[in-house]
Copies of this chain bind each other. A is one copy, B any other.
Amino acid sequence: MATLHEFLANQKSESLNQLKEFLRIPSVSADQKYKKEVRRAAEWLTGRLNELEVDTKIYETPGHPIVYGEYHVGDEYPTVLFYGHYDVQPPDPLDLWETEPFNPVVKKTDIHPDGAVFARGACDDKGQLFMQVKAVEALINSDLLHCNLKFLYEGEEEVGSENLEKFCIEHTDLLTADVILISDTAILSNDTPTITTGLRGLSYVEVKVTGPKVDLHSGVYGGGVANPINVLAQMIAQMHDDQGRITIPGFYDDVEVVSNEEREAMNKAPFDLEKYKEGIGVQEIWGEEGYTTLERTSIRPTLDVNGIWGGYIGEGAKTVLPSEAQAKISMRLVPNQDPDQITELFVDYFKSIAPDTVTVEVNPHHGGRPAVTPIDSVAYHAASKAMTKAFGKEPIPLRGGGSIPIVAMFKEVLGLDSILMGFGLDSDAIHSPNEHFGLFNFYTGIETIAEFLIQYGKDKQGS
């Protein structure tokens, strides 16, 4: 039998080929026309788990299916529940992709000199989910698996995990475990491993501003009738004040006040503002006054327009005064903010600032609660040791800006804490054209997860 490291080394090329297979399936959960492809991804994943003799089953939901699996080693061992998602974001805008989003290609980049695989879902979350599967394979083959395992892989994370909570509520017995391991976050850099210890929540709404009942000629009516695009622009402009603060009354009422000590510690993390600006190609950053960029993107809530459309957007000039204008607006939330309540505050405020000249409609999409994870647990220490081993450096605990709403749900419904040990980089362009995942990150991630299971199995039995 091969040692763990021999196995990991030999496994690399097959792991990459399998990942590419997985990435070729366009499992876009937000778009109904990909519904069959989402299922195909679930079936592909089931196939890989079955190959490891994981007892796997596809659970149907009103939306996309849940892949669930179990691997029992012995009653004396702790149980780790893996979570990940096999669905992906829509690939738009397609014209900005350098290679096809569902035709994975390995290319070297400055940040990934060993190469990175480019495809939608490479980092978020197929590549990261698949690290878990490959880590388990390596441990089984080197006879080092001393944890019982459960696998919970959903196909609706990118559309708000609509059916996962119900599944958890209905299957609390099935899902008993000691800890959850989620691989769907980023590290600060390949030289600076980090473990995510907090995530922002989310409130997402779609708004429509309607003026005249049909599109009008802007020459005949212009100046005499409110233009819904101009009105929507004014309403959006009113959502922030001059200090970059959100103006919705009550929005900050429940925001967790982070202590000065914690803020100081947070700001000691290596962060180069010039490199940050260069990386994303902006001359100046922006944000809430009184906070650093690291704070603005982790411990402070935000409001962003994610999409806007109205009137004539084709080629050439059309002098229309449109009937309506629409936008998708999301708010990232921090601990103690409740997404349902924030959505309500948004709806009230948005309607209150609408002039009489228009009618407005607000349709909430999914939301998600913010979460903070403990850093004094057996699992956290095992994760820290595993990362130290694989990266040669002790990881820094760091709050993330993104949202994985199910972290709070798992805590509430299953009573379980999660370890957020992901291996992406912020520059991996998740949710963007040319999404990619570094091969170094992929292979080191597999190794880290394997080390974590070894460490946790050991520590938990001893605890």
Contacts and interface: CB of A to CB of B under 8 A. Distances in A.
A46 B250 CA distance: 68
Contact of A223 (B216, B226, B296): B296
A184 to B, nearest CB: 11
Contact of A402 (B217, B297, B317): B217
Interface string A320-339: 11100111101010000000
B280 A332 contact: no
Interface string A347-384: 00000000111110000011000000000000000000
A450 B31 CA distance: 58
Contact of A328 (B239, B305, B318): B318
A62 interface: no
Contacts of A306: 218, 229, 311-312, 317-322
Contacts of A288: 223
Contacts of A30: 314-318
Given A281-B213, A317-B365, A318-B307, A186 B297 contact: no
A287 interface: yes
Interface stretch (A78-86, A87-95, A139-147, A170-178): A87-95
A320 B221 CA distance: 35
Contacts of A311: 305-308, 328
B215 A317 contact: no
A435 to B, nearest CB: 10
Nearest to A239: B230
A96 interface: yes
A90 B308 contact: no
Nearest to A30: B316
Nearest to A325: B308
Contacts of A297: 220-224
Contact of A216 (B301, B327, B432): B432
A238 B220 CA distance: 24
A413 to B, nearest CB: 22
Given A285-B225, A315-B30, A305 B233 contact: yes
A235 to B, nearest CB: 8
B432 A285 contact: no
Interface in A248-301: 280-288, 293, 296-297, 300-301
A286 to B, nearest CB: 4
Interface in A202-248: 202, 204, 206, 211-227, 229-230, 232-234, 236-240
A332 B219 contact: yes
28 contacts: A90-B316, A92-B312, A158-B317, A200-B219, A202-B219, A212-B281, A215-B431, A217-B432, A218-B302, A218-B332, A219-B402, A221-B280, A223-B304, A224-B401, A225-B282, A225-B287, A226-B285, A229-B306, A229-B308, A230-B236, A233-B234, A286-B357, A306-B319, A306-B320, A307-B322, A317-B330, A317-B366, A320-B432
